[in-house]
Structure 1
Amino acid sequence: MNAVVIAVAIMLVLSLLRVHVVVSLIVGAVAGGLLAGMGIESTLAAFQKGLGGGATVALSYALLGAFAVAISKSGVANVLAEKVLNMIGQQEGKGTELVKWMLIMLLLVAAISSQNILPIHIAFIPLLVPPLLYVMGRMQLDRRLVACVLTFGLITPYMFLPVGFGGIFLKEILLANVAKGGVDVTGLSVMQAMMIPALGMLCGLLVAIFISYRKKRIYQTVDTGQVGSASNDYNPKSLLAAGVAVVVAFVAQLWLNSMIMGALLGFVVFSLAGVVRWKETEGLFTEGMKMMAMIGFIMIAASGFAEVMRETGHIQTLVDSSVSVIGDSKALGAILMLLVGLLITLGIGSSFSTVPIIAAIFVPLALQLGFSPLAIVCIVGTAGALGDAGSPASDSTLGPTAGLNMDGQHNHIWDTVVPTFIHYNLPLLAFGWAAAMLL
């Protein structure tokens, strides 16, 4: 049996059984290493070696948590929540429905913008989502729908639009690795190659909105003073400080290419403006880091898991075994390449890391099977994107959970991972395969 397949399966099964994701990743990594014959010492050494890869991201999220708490203390959260609540008022029916759609569009536009227009990735979630939890609770809006909306906005832009993070994924990673495999990509439209898979993502989003989660879901109302609640504890000075802090954080993140420095400088602005008193700084900072601790530890453990999978050498074996099964069948070849990409990304949690792994083998194979350059780009790109939604270790699922679970009423696996897996990976498989056969 392939060690990577077993390790990913163990990790997913344990996660679905509500074993904590960090524990699931560790157990899966150890099982995979032992099955590959690495031995317990080599497996643990590889796991520990990989932990450092997630440290930067984990620290970034911890500081973003502190920054989010500082923003909520400024009163911006309350103003935003109250504005939406005033729109709801005592209205029923169409009035509430209008606010619901405005809220969904707000989150969708913010998520899409975070990938291309203002490339800050998931940094906006702990700032924007928690203040709206009170409003979502009042409207009985199903948070699984919100998770699907956010994940769509975090993934679809980079796999279709070649700007921002999309420029990195589509041009610097996808096209570069396909060209390295011997395909002439000169003049090739990457948007044309990825259009049909992107339509699959859109279909999944529409199903989530209009079919799966259109009914109301009851949540416990957040008490005044807690995360996401609405209160009157704010003043113009604190709101101005919050605006300056957000601008400083975003500019620093873009200029220095560091979420760590962006969040830290934003927090300093709050301190200097007096919104956060100096004697409160330590406690507030600790509170914010606690809120984001889970996502940080999961990212660290995921890096260790990915390193063990690479050290086993069974990723290459998995790809090679798929090649031997395919034979001369283009239809079978396309679906197996997509499934291998799905499996690898589910375990590693990163589309950006999956493409270089699979392109080296899949590109020559696709050429041998007679796929066009456009179809090859589509296959490799879709195989890489598959599994980003629905992976317990992906920041595209961890980010939405971090915002939606601020009050402890949103489960990472059953309310984010499973819904996004069903609504995005299944359509991506179908539309990706169709695109490979048509292009």
Structure 2
Amino acid sequence: MLTNAVIISVIVMVALSLLRVNVLFAIIIAALTAGLVSGMNFSDSVSLMISGMGGQANTALSYILLGIFAVMIGLSGITQLLVNKMLKVFSGKKTALALSIAGIACLSQNVIPVHIAFIPILIPPLLGLFDRLKLDRRAVATALTFGLKAPYILIPAGFGLIFKGIIQDEMVSNNMSITLNEVNLAMLIPGAGMIVGLFIAIFISYRKERVSKPAGQQEFAELDMAEGITDEPSPAAWKTGHTFTVIAIVAALVVQLTSESLVLGALTGIIILFITKVVKFHDGDKVVQEGIGMMGMIAFVMLVASGYATVLKETGSVTELVEKTTGVVGNSPMLLAFFMLLLGLIITMGIGSSFGTIPILAALYVPLCAAAGLSPLATAALIGTAGALGDAGSPASDSTLGPTSGLNADGRHHHIWDTCVPTFLHYNIPLFIFGLIAAFVL
């Protein structure tokens, strides 16, 4: 089992990432490793990876356009008003600020289901405020990842309704009857683990003062000047351009929700800002370059991650891994639950998508849980938790790439050590423990 392509390639990806090899290179090398271990040659491995990259083409284009839209919103000046307001409200209140960001992130999954689209708009203008308050950016990263993950685990609305609907549909299709309400109930205990992880991160782990890069008073002054931050909120009048910017944001949201397309939503906002001359047409090259600079990396990582997932699926290594594990474990409910969650962690760390992992896990886990005598509620909890495990902490997941795209806008936040490692520790460990508890009590 230790020679399985999934295990070896995930170990390679994680090891390279921890050694600060760029995540793009780490994923490419991991994909090639998976292909070679499964018996393919370099040429076939590369071809399979490239063929699978199109699976995230829409997402990648969406992120690029959202980056351009975020830059245009910044040029409108409205973000300076926001920062000045937040400086006044949260002065000396680091914990309240971090919890507020977690709350805003939660809204992005259900009430206003824009997922990570809000991050490049909200977070970069606040970086100066974080450093002024000496708020550890790792606390902000864990707050953002909580808001991107916990709602789909706990709340049956927006992305949570989709996630739980997938669990129900896949369980039913594999001959285990369960209702959507029962799936909601089953995920409450694992979801409680996410809340515990958030509180540990904010109130214990990252409570101390920390600036991402040591800075003297002169550097702070330069940063404040660049961000429009002063010790006292500077007076700024509301202008017509700000009104048009709000209209553009609302229009982009409405179009996205009605068309279910981030591309169309972002294009709508961009067009409105150009037509209303909030941003001049001759600044088009500037905003495109800065937008790609902000979100281009995450877009390419998502493309390569899609290719990596295709390699893992097409080689049959995922199915082989599960079959070998269950052959060793047998029908012991305790051992079965433990290894099911461990496999979910490994698979999702590689694929980077909890939603995309559920169909793979359900087809293999439902018969095993039934044979071990586990209830439908316990089975749902195990499948949902196994799918969610690894989403936090995976270098290829948008739950980590999204927070990094905002927090690293000034080049002072490391994707692996400042986002992936903290979110892995604070969410995967509680999810694993609470997932086991759910399997035993339900």
TM-score range, shorter chain: over 0.9
Structure 2 residue matching 1:218: 3-state secondary structure: coil
Q: Tell me, yes or no, if structure 1 residue 254 matches structure 2 residue 252.
A: no
Cα distance change on mapping 1:169 and 1:368 into 2, 3 Å = same
Q: Tell me, yes or no, if structure 1 residue 184 matches structure 2 residue 153.
A: no
Deviation string, structure 1 residues 36-94 (Cα, Å, up to 9, x no partner): 00122221111010111122111111111111111111111100111122346xxxxxx
**Aligned-residue offset at 1:187:** 7.0
Q: Tell me, yes or no, if structure 1 residue 125 matches structure 2 residue 119.
A: yes
- TM-score between both structures, scaled by the size of structure 1: 0.95
Partners of 1:211 and 1:369 in 2: CA distance = 39
The answer as to whether partners of 1:379 and 1:436 remain within 8 angstroms in 2 is yes
Deviation string, structure 1 residues 274-315 (Cα, Å, up to 9, x no partner): 111111122222211221111011101101111111121111
Matches within 5 A, 1:171-320: 171=165, 173-186=166-179, 188-219=181-212, 220=215, 221=220, 223=223, 226=226, 235-320=238-323
**Aligned-residue offset at 1:130:** 1.1
Structure 2 residue matching 1:320: 3-state secondary structure: helix
Partners of 1:125 and 1:307 in 2: CA distance = 28
Equivalent residue in structure 1 for 2:130, among 107, 132, 136: 136
**Aligned-residue offset at 1:224:** 5.0
The answer as to whether partners of 2:168 and 2:179 remain within 8 angstroms in 1 is no
Q: Segments of 4+ in structure 1 off by > 3 A?
A: 219-222, 224-235
1:92 alignment counterpart: none
Q: Which moved more, 1:55-64 or 1:223-232?
A: 223-232
Partners of 1:383 and 1:3 in 2: CA distance = 19
Equivalent residue in structure 2 for 1:156, among 150, 160, 184: 150
Deviation string, structure 1 residues 160-218 (Cα, Å, up to 9, x no partner): 211111111101x1011111121111475222101110011111111001110000102
Q: Which amino acid aligns with 1:146?
A: V
Matches within 5 A, 1:26-425: 26-87=28-89, 96-97=92-93, 100-171=94-165, 173-186=166-179, 188-219=181-212, 220=215, 221=220, 223=223, 226=226, 235-425=238-428
Partners of 1:109 and 1:158 in 2: CA distance = 14
Q: What are the ranges of 5 or more consecutive residues in structure 1 without an aligned counterpart?
A: 89-94
Cα distance change on mapping 1:120 and 1:285 into 2, 3 Å = same
Deviation string, structure 1 residues 356-404 (Cα, Å, up to 9, x no partner): 0111111000000000111011011110111100000000000000011
Partners of 1:291 and 1:159 in 2: CA distance = 29
Q: Which amino acid aligns with 2:83?
A: A
Q: Which moved more, 1:304-313 or 1:389-398?
A: 304-313
Query: Percent of counterpart pairs with the same letter?
Result: 48
Residue correspondences, number: 430
Structure 2 residue matching 1:96: 3-state secondary structure: coil
Q: Which amino acid aligns with 2:196?
A: C
Q: Tell me, yes or no, if structure 1 residue 23 matches structure 2 residue 25.
A: yes
Q: Which amino acid aligns with 2:173?
A: K
Partners of 1:62 and 1:294 in 2: CA distance = 9
**Aligned-residue offset at 1:223:** 2.6
Structure 2 residue matching 1:189: 3-state secondary structure: helix
Cα distance change on mapping 1:188 and 1:124 into 2, 3 Å = closer
Partners of 1:10 and 1:65 in 2: CA distance = 30
Deviation string, structure 1 residues 146-167 (Cα, Å, up to 9, x no partner): 0001101110111121111111
Q: Which amino acid aligns with 2:360?
A: I
- TM-score between both structures, scaled by the size of structure 2: 0.94
Q: Which amino acid aligns with 1:210?
A: F
Structure 1 residue matching 2:223: 3-state secondary structure: coil
Partners of 1:433 and 1:261 in 2: CA distance = 42
Partners of 1:33 and 1:233 in 2: CA distance = 57
**Aligned-residue offset at 1:225:** 6.1
Partners of 1:262 and 1:160 in 2: CA distance = 27
Cα distance change on mapping 1:193 and 1:112 into 2, 3 Å = same
Q: Which amino acid aligns with 2:209?
A: K
Cα distance change on mapping 1:362 and 1:256 into 2, 3 Å = same
Q: Which moved more, 1:135-144 or 1:232-241?
A: 232-241
